Structure 1
Amino acid sequence: METLVYTIQINTSPERVWDVLWGEITYRQWTTAFTEGSFYQGTLEEGSTVKFLDPKNNGMYSRVEKNIPHKEMKFLHLGEIYDGVEAPQNWGEATESYILEEKDDGTELKAEIQTPAEFKEFFEDKFPKALGIVKNLSENQL
């Protein structure tokens, strides 16, 4: 497992950043950095299962491990989805966390990913772009 950490300073409140991360429309906007047309199905309540999908019904499914509004969201990735069919994977502790910390000049957003090594290059390319979109949406969208 690789631990990858990406941090960005956003000049607005943690509440605003949170709303951009998990709002239905804005989630679709910032996740285009990973896959055009990405969306999620399900609720973000702790213990629930959520599906992260592309327009072709491919993606992955995860359990919400932690949801502390405006502070932290953590997912444990359980498997992949192909044509809408879940395929469990033995990824161990493959997690993805979003941690928001209020600062004097706004919010520090940290994304921390525990991932198998084969996904490292993908995340290294995509995550900084995704967080840049989150920053832009958080600071500039009405």
Structure 2
Amino acid sequence: METLTFEVQIEATPEKVWSVLWNDISYRQWTTAFTEGSFYEGTLEEGTIVKFFDPNNNGMFSRVDKNVPNKEMKFLHLGEIYDGVEQPQDWGEATESYILEETESGTTLKGVIQTPEEFKGFFEEKFPTALGIIKNLAENQL
């Protein structure tokens, strides 16, 4: 398992950054960095299952392991979805965390990914782009 950490400084409050991360409309905007047309289904309450999809009904399903509003969201990835059918995977502790820390000038947003080696390159390529979009949305939306 590889641990990857990505960080961006955003001149906006943690509440604003949190809203950009998880509001349906802005979520669809920043996740274009991974796949155009991405969206999620489900609630983000701790212990619930959330499904992340592309426009072709493919994606992954995860459990919300932690949800501390305006501070931290953590997903444990459980499996893949193909044509709407869930296929559990043995990824161990494959997690994705979003950690927000308030600073004098706004918020530090940190993404911490625990990923199997096979997905490392994907995240290294795509995650910085996603953080840049989040920064832009948080600093420039009303």
> What's the TM-score bracket when you normalise by the shorter of the two chains?
over 0.9
Alignment partner of 1:79: what SS?
strand
Identify the residue that residue 57 of structure 2 maps to in structure 1.
57
1:50 CA drift (Å):
0.1
Matches within 5 A, 1:102-121: 102-121=102-121
Aligned to 1:4: 4
Structure 1 position 99, deviation (Å) = 0.2
TM-score (norm: length of structure 1): 1.00
Shift of 1:88: 0.2
**Partner Cα separation in structure 2 for residue 27 and residue 114 of structure 1:** 21
Could you tell me which amino acid in structure 1 is paired with residue 115 of structure 2?
T
Runs of 4+ in structure 1 off by over 6 angstroms are none
SS of equivalent to 2:60? strand
Structure 2 unmatched ranges of 5 or more: none
In the alignment, the residues of structure 1 paired with residue 22 and residue 13 of structure 2 have an alpha-carbon distance, to the nearest angstrom, of 15
Q: Which residue of 2 aligns with 1:43?
A: 43
Structure 1: which 5+ residue stretches go unaligned? none
1:1-40 matches, cutoff 5 A: 1-40=1-40
Structure 2: distance between partners of 1:74 and 1:124: 19
Shift of residue 82, structure 1, vs aligned partner: 0.1
Q: Distance in 2 between matches of 1:76 and 1:118?
A: 17
Q: Percent identity?
A: 75
**Structure-2-length-normalised TM-score:** 1.00
Residue number in structure 1 paired with 2:140: 140
Given the alignment of the two structures, is residue 91 of structure 1 paired with residue 106 of structure 2, yes or no? no
Q: What's the RMSD between the two structures over aligned residues? A: 0.3
Matched AA of 2:111: A
Q: How many residues align?
A: 142
Which whole-Å deviations, capped at 9, do the CAs of 1:98-131 have from their partners, x for residues lacking one? 0000000100000000000010100000000000
SS class of match (1:114): strand
